[in-house]
Amino acid sequence: MIYGILEDNNGNIWFSTNKGLTQFNPVKNEFYNFTMSDGLQSNEFNLGVCHKGADGELLFGGVNGYNAFYPEQLKRNLYIPPIRLTGFKIFNKSVQLDTAIQFKKKIMLSHYQSMFSFEFAALNFINPEKNQYAYKMEGLYDDWIQLNHGRTVSFTHLDPGNYVFRVKGSNNHGIWNEAGTSIRVTITPPFWQTIWFRMIFGIIIYRSRNRFIFALLAENVHPCIYTYLL
């Protein structure tokens, strides 16, 4: 719900709402939302209570007072945060690995470990609740999936095979670490899907088939020919 609209001296549009104060850059088509964690009197503003001073100062009134500021004095956080894996769970239980998860390059899972999850974080500590994340699991799908502020991803019933889990993140001002971090995931098949089992099973079937054929022939051919075939 928009309660007030002002334009600053740089052409940015500011909206007071019931969920904070929003800045819109029409040139870059970018939005940024300020909340109480940025110093607002409240996330709730009042209808029509806004004013632009002659010196460019913007004022927006809300339920607990008002906020007054000079937009050009607001500094954007340009820090590109490192992205780290911080946890790994199987069936919602933390797993103690031989190496800390942030240093692991590969994880091997059995087919029956059908539910697992990764936890991660962008190492930006200025309003970290505004850090954003996106992930993808190569081998399952190749498109990035936006998580907004969520820091956990779960997977269930993946087919046996090789995958790469990738996650990237941003700081509180939407500056992204596009490289992010990744880890390879291998899910081993059940024994009846392995090449060795199929080879052995094929040999057994082949031999059983031959014996069955020989048994049929034994009823219709001369004993000497049957002995030769065996």
Residues 117 and 164 in one domain: yes
Residues 156 and 67 in one domain: no
Task: Report the pLDDT value the prediction gives residue 213, as an integer from 0 to 100.
Answer: 57
Query: Residue 16 carries which side chain, given as an amino acid letter?
Result: S
Site of tokens 């091997």: 108
Is 16 among the domain residues?
A: yes
Alpha-carbon distance of 69 to 57, in angstroms, equals 6
* Closest to 69 (Cα-Cα) out of 6, 11, 24: 6
pLDDT band at residue 77 using 50, 70 and 90 as cut-offs = very high
Is 78 among the domain residues?
A: no
Please identify, among 73, 93, 118, the residue that sits at the C-terminal boundary of a domain: 73
Please identify, among 73, 105, 129, the residue that sits at the C-terminal boundary of a domain: 73
Helix (H) or strand (E) holding 207: helix 195-218
pTM over 0.75: no
For 221, the domain range is 192-229
The total number of residues shown for the chain amounts to: 230
Residues 47 and 59 in one domain: yes
Q: Kindly report, residue by residue over 34-65, the tens digit of the pLDDT.
A: 999 889 999 999 999 999 999 999 999 999 99
Is 38 among the domain residues?
A: yes
The mean pLDDT value for 99-120 works out to 93
Instruction: Confirm if 137 and 144 have CB atoms less than 8 A apart.
Output: no
Alpha-carbon distance of 94 to 105, in angstroms, equals 18
Residues 36 and 124 in one domain: no
Alpha-carbon distance of 227 to 218, in angstroms, equals 9
Please identify, among 73, 103, 120, the residue that sits at the C-terminal boundary of a domain: 73
How many domains does the chain divide into? 3
pLDDT band at residue 67 using 50, 70 and 90 as cut-offs = very high
pLDDT band at residue 76 using 50, 70 and 90 as cut-offs = confident
pLDDT band at residue 189 using 50, 70 and 90 as cut-offs = confident
